[in-house]
Amino acid sequence: MEKALVIINCIFLAIGNCGGPLMMRLYFNNGGKRVWLSSFLETAGFPIIFIPLFSSFLKRNRNRTSCIITSSSSSSDEKTRFFLMRPRLFAASGFIGIITGLDNYLYAYGLAFLPVSTSSLIIASQLAFTALFAFLLVKQKFTPFSVNAVVLLTVGAGVLALHTGGDKPSNESQKDYMLGFVLTVAAAVLYAFILPFIELTYKKARQEMSFTLVLEVQMVMCLFASVFCLVGMLISDDFKAIPREARSFGLGERVYYVVIAFTAIIWQGFFLGAIGVIFCASSLVSGVLISVLLPLTEVLAVVCFKERFQAEKGVSLVLSLWGFVSYFYGEAKHSKVHKDGQSEARTETETELPRLPCP
């Protein structure tokens, strides 16, 4: 069950990490200009989480009813709680949500003025910052394999920098391009902090974490992030501009609303997968998966938006895959050594136990 949960979260993360930027780029390429709307869509799909939460509630309620029937417990007056989250965890999740809302805006602003390839280059650099914050916040232990993976993935991102000279769109000013570049760097660093901070929140929650509780954390985070961006939309009059923008959208008015809806759904998969991987493994693993998927986003950008696939992108892809294999080979080897050590310790303990005399 645990392996299945890891695989499901990795699939969600892959779909969101690759599809989210492409959907946003599709919006901007066809006349979309609302940055606050784009940042809002990154977390606005959180109501979807009510579906698995309601399913979990029904299961817990069914199990509780079975226990009451089969035992003489006096707790039959207690009702099954829909939300398991306590105030401490709620407050921490809300704080992370506000930071996530700011990160959404920085990322959306950068992607509005940068090609997907350049944006992916910058976001890939967040792995080094994730490793640093994971070491400072949660005392992440590194192995030679994990260090090698971080170096390879970071170098792979740096290789992409070799082709960014001609990436600036012809209808865009140098000022807008540079501002988008700087804000995307800020978004990468900020999200690199968010991942280990979520892991720290799990450890300091003072209640046993379950995947149901992880879903609740995700929902509260996205709620606060969406409210943060919603305030920005109100200030910038996005709600008045949306109908006009839809009518002038390059792919048609109906497609405009379809793009908006699917953008929200796909991005929700990214956030759910990211915090799910943190719950099942660690923030560093989540950062590694995000980084290794970025070259795939590059390939999809070439296919969808006819961006040039230069030699540097191919080298980056190879380095990223190498780093990915290195990390998980190291983790598998470390896990095997740890299990063998436990087995040997158990055998030695059994051998040292004094033998009782035969009756």
Question: Concatenated DSSP letters for 248-290?
Answer: T-TT-HHHHHHHHHHHHHHHHHHHHHHHHHHHHS-HHHHHHHH
Total tally of structural domains belonging to the chain: 1
For residue 145, being part of any structural domain is answered with yes
> What Rg value do the Cα atoms of the chain yield, rounded?
23
Residue 230 tokens, joined: 């919603």
What value does the mean pLDDT take over residues 317-331? 72
Q: What was the pLDDT predicted at 230?
A: 95
Q: What is the DSSP string of 138-198?
A: H-----HHHHHHHHHHHHHHHHHGGGGGG-S-TTS-HHHHHHHHHHHHHHHHHHHHHHHHH
For residue 75, being part of any structural domain is answered with no
For residue 325, being part of any structural domain is answered with yes
pLDDT in tens, 208-229: 888 889 889 999 999 999 999 9
Average pLDDT, the chain: 80
For residue 351, being part of any structural domain is answered with no
Structural domain for 185, as ranges:
2-58+85-337
For residue 118, being part of any structural domain is answered with yes
For residue 280, being part of any structural domain is answered with yes
**pLDDT category, 246, cuts 50, 70, 90?**
very high
pLDDT in tens, 129-152: 777 788 888 777 777 777 777 777
Q: Whole-model pTM?
A: 0.79
pLDDT in tens, 149-175: 777 767 776 676 565 555 555 566 677
pLDDT in tens, 333-356: 766 665 566 656 555 555 554 554
For residue 356, being part of any structural domain is answered with no
pLDDT in tens, 86-114: 899 999 999 999 999 999 999 999 888 87
For residue 72, being part of any structural domain is answered with no
Q: What was the pLDDT predicted at 129?
A: 77
